[in-house]
A and B are shown apart, each in its own frame.
Chain A
C-alpha cells in the first residue's frame, strides 16, 4: 500500500482549475520530486496532502486514511507523522530558533526540558545550524531560515517529509547545501518524501521518481533516467529551460541575438 495516495485529485479556485484529476502514489521510503511551472498547482497538491485544503473531487490518503474524511483530532494525529517545510520557512517570528524547533515537542510529547534540549540540538546539528538556538528568525538569512524550518519539521520524527520549494530564492551554493541536507535527511531518517522544486540539479540528485505537473495535470511520473529521455515536448522544454515550446500559454517575447541584446 502506498504511504501517500493521491487519487483523481481536482481543485479549482473560482473558475481557475489548478489541479485536474491528478494521480500519484508514493511508496514507503520513496523520494518523489514534483516539477512544474509557477502556478501549476504544486503547492496546492501539498496543501491537499496536509489537509490545509479540501479537494473538489478525488481524495488524498495518507497511510490509508482519507484526509478529507478525518475529524480535526484524527487529522492532527496524522499530521504528527508528517513534517512540512514551507517555501519561506514560516518560522514563528516571536520565538527563538530553539523555541521554534521545540514547539512540536512541547505540544505533543511529555519530555523533560533536558530531553527537549537534546532533541533540538540533534535536529539543528542535522541541518548544520548548531549554535543558533538563541537567534530570532529575523536575524537569519533565507537559507538559514529554511534549515531551521527543516529542523522544526523533523523534530517530531515524522514518517513523511514534504518540502515546498526549499531552494527558491537562494544562491546556487546555498541551493546545493539545501539539496545535500535533503539527501542526508532522506538517508539518515529513511522517510518518505515529496519535494517540490524548480532546481533540476537537486531534483535529479534527490528523486527516486520525478513527476511533472502541467496545466493542473500530472503528465509524467517516472524514474529520473526515464524522465530525462521522455519524448514529451513539455518535459523536454522544461529540461532545456527554453521559453519556446508548448509549456507557456502566452507566447514568450521574441528571442534576440546575444550581441543585439547587449548592445
Chain B
C-alpha cells in the first residue's frame, strides 16, 4: 500500500519533471532559433496580423467592460466614505498596473494561444510538421519563432490599447454616470501613476506574450492522438498559459515593485 503510494508519487514527479524539461528544451530551442536564417518576413507579418491586429476588438471590448465594472465598484465603495474623488485615481492605478496587462494576457491566451495550439496540433497529426522536417525546414524556426516574436511585440502594444480603452471606460461611468468633472477625471486618473507603472505593465505584457506563444506552440507541437488530441490541445494551452500568467503576475508584481 505504502509502496504503491510512493510509486505513484514518484511517477507523478518524474512525469512533471519530464513535461517541464520538454517545455524548457523547446523554449530554449525557440530562443536559439530567433537569429537563424532564412528570415521569413511574410510569415512574421501574418503573425503580427493574427496575434495583434485581429485581437484589437476583443481586447477593446473586454477592457471597456472590465474598466466600467471596476469604475462602478469604486464609485460605490468610495461613496461610503465621501471620497468619490479617489475613484479615478485608483481606477488609473489598477488599470495600468494590473487590469490592462492581465486582461490582455488572459484574452490573448484564449484567442491566440488556443489558435496556435489548434493549428500546430492539426499540422502535427496530418504530418505537415514532418513534411516541414523533410523539406529541410526546422519547425521550431518556421512555426515557433514568428509566433513568439509577434506575441512578444503585440501583447505589450495591445496592453497600451487596453489602458487607453480602460481610461474611457472609467470616464463613461465616473464622468457620464457619477457626474464627476471631466477635467478632474483626466487629471486624477494619472495622479498616482509614474512612468515606472507603464514600464511594469509593459514588462508583464512582454512576459505574458512569451508564455502565450510558447505554451500554445508547445501544446500544439506535442499533440498526439488524432481529432481527440487536436481537441484537447487548445483547452490545455488556455488552462496552462492562463495559470502561468496569473502565477507569473504575482511574482513579477513583487519583483518589479521593489
Contact = CB atoms under 8 A, between A and B. Distances in A.
B128 A79 contact: no
Given A76-B138, A79-B135, A80-B136, A107 B130 contact: no
Interface in B93-150: 122-123, 126-128, 130-131, 133-138
A80 B136 CA distance: 6
Contact of B127 (A79, A90, A107, A152): A90
Q: How large is the interface on B (under 10, 10 to 19, 20 to 34, 35 or more residues)?
A: 10 to 19
B130 A90 contact: yes
A130 interface: no
A88 B127 contact: yes
A181 to B, nearest CB: 19
B132 to A, nearest CB: 8
B130 A52 contact: yes
Contact of A90 (B126, B136, B137, B138): B126
Contact of A50 (B123, B128, B134, B137): B134
Nearest to A82: B134
Contacts of B126: 88, 90, 93
A76 to B, nearest CB: 4
A108 interface: yes
A238 interface: no
A90 B126 CA distance: 6
B135 A107 contact: yes
Contacts of B131: 84, 86, 90-92, 152
Given A93-B126, A93-B128, A84 B136 contact: no
A201 interface: no
B136 A77 contact: yes
Q: How large is the interface on A (under 10, 10 to 19, 20 to 34, 35 or more residues)?
A: 20 to 34
A76 B137 CA distance: 7
A50 B137 CA distance: 13
B57 interface: no
B128 A72 contact: no
Contacts of B28: none
A52 B130 CA distance: 7
B136 A108 contact: yes
Contacts of A50: 133-134
B38 interface: yes
Nearest to A51: B133
A79 B137 CA distance: 9
A107 B136 contact: yes
A104 interface: yes
B136 A104 contact: yes
Contacts of B122: 93
Nearest to B142: A107
A122 B128 CA distance: 23
A103 interface: yes
Contacts of A87: 127
Contacts of B133: 50-52, 79
A92 B130 contact: no
Nearest to A87: B127
Contacts of A80: 136
Contacts of B127: 86-88, 90
A146 to B, nearest CB: 13
A86 B130 contact: yes
Nearest to B38: A107
Interface string A69-107: 000100011011011101110111100000000011001
A76 B134 CA distance: 8
A104 B135 contact: yes
Nearest to B122: A93
A50 B129 CA distance: 13
A172 to B, nearest CB: 25
A257 B137 CA distance: 54
Interface of B: 38, 122-123, 126-128, 130-131, 133-138
Interface of A: 47, 50-52, 72, 76-77, 79-80, 82-84, 86-88, 90-93, 103-104, 107-108, 152, 156
Given A107-B38, A152-B131, 15 more contacts: A76-B136, A79-B134, A82-B134, A84-B131, A86-B127, A87-B127, A88-B126, A90-B128, A90-B130, A92-B128, A93-B122, A93-B128, A104-B137, A107-B137, A108-B136
29 contacts: A51-B133, A52-B134, A72-B138, A76-B136, A76-B137, A76-B138, A79-B133, A79-B134, A79-B135, A79-B136, A83-B134, A84-B134, A86-B127, A86-B130, A87-B127, A88-B126, A88-B127, A90-B130, A92-B123, A92-B131, A93-B122, A93-B128, A103-B137, A104-B135, A104-B137, A107-B38, A107-B135, A107-B137, A156-B135
